[in-house]
């Protein structure tokens, strides 16, 4: 008996509908229908849940389907391998594109260079992304740097305009 026929007969002998099985496995009813019509196969986790639900062993479900059993296991292994490769690739890309230290350095340097600092801080804010490790710290350093640059600009301008300079002249 093929797996599809075995699944259908076990479900019917358990007195369950496709909808009830789908709800217990938390999958769609269409998936159950595909499995019972031979258009798809459950993964190993769902096979375990089905065997528990129907109160039969996985061996009984797959007894005449050794090739199918091997195919399911190889597919699951391939899926796990691809998931591992994908997570490794995502971590590699995230670390390669992390500009946190460079942006922090530019913001720090910009805080001491008055006119250039405002431009550097604008560039740093533009380049900062949520993917950076020090995303929030970069904003804090840039805010401090902008404040410091504006203060430096005020100091330079007040020196040029002689603001705040008091002269005392003796009048006779």
Which residues, 6 or more positions from 19, have their beta carbon under 8 angstroms from its beta carbon?
29
Rounded Cα gap, residues 27 and 98, in angstroms: 38
Is 166 within the bounds of a domain?
no
* DSSP 8-state symbol, 17: -
Judged against a pLDDT cut of 70, whether residue 144 lies above it is answered with yes
Is 85 within the bounds of a domain?
yes
Question: Is the same domain home to 81 and 123?
Answer: no
Task: Please provide residue 9's backbone torsions phi and psi, each rounded to the nearest 5 degrees.
Answer: -65, -40
- pLDDT tens for 95-140 read 666 788 888 888 888 888 888 888 898 888 898 888 777 889 989 9
Are 30 and 16 in contact by the 8 Å Cβ rule? The answer is: no
Is 170 within the bounds of a domain?
no
Give the total number of structural domains in the chain: 2
Question: Is the same domain home to 64 and 108?
Answer: no
- pLDDT tens for 8-25 read 888 888 898 999 999 998
Tell me the pTM. Answer: 0.42
Judged against a pLDDT cut of 90, whether residue 78 lies above it is answered with yes
Beta strands in 14-99 (DSSP E): none
Are 36 and 18 in contact by the 8 Å Cβ rule? The answer is: yes
Is 75 within the bounds of a domain?
yes
Instruction: Name the helix (H) or strand (E) containing 59.
Output: helix 58-62
Rounded Cα gap, residues 128 and 126, in angstroms: 6
* Residue ranges making up the domain that contains 107: 100-161
Q: Domain containing 10 — which CATH number? A: 1.10.260.40
Report, in this order, helix, strand and coil percent for the chain, each rounded to 5. 75, 0, 25
Torsion on CA atoms 119, 120, 124, 126, rounded to nearest 10: 20
Percent of the chain with pLDDT over 70: 93
């Amino acid at each position: 008996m093929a797996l599809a026929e075995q699944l259908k007969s076990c479900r019917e002998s358990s007195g369950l509908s496709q909808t009830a099985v789908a709800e217990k496995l938390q999958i769609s009813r269409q998936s159950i229908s595909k499995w019972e019509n031979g258009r798809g196969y459950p993964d190993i986790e769902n096979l375990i849940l089905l065997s528990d639900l129907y109160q039969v062993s996985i061996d009984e479900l797959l007894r005449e389907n050794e090739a199918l059993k091997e195919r399911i296991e190889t597919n699951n292994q391939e899926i796990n391998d691809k998931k591992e490769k994908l997570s490794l690739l995502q971590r590699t890309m995230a670390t390669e594109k992390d500009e946190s230290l460079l942006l922090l350095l530019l913001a720090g340097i910009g805080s001491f260079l008055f006119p250039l600092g405002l431009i550097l801080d604008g560039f740093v804010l533009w380049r900062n992304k949520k993917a950076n490790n020090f995303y929030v710290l970069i904003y804090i350093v840039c805010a401090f740097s902008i404040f410091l640059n504006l203060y430096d600009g005020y100091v330079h301008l007040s020196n040029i305009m002689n603001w705040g300079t008091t002269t005392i002249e003796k009048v006779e």
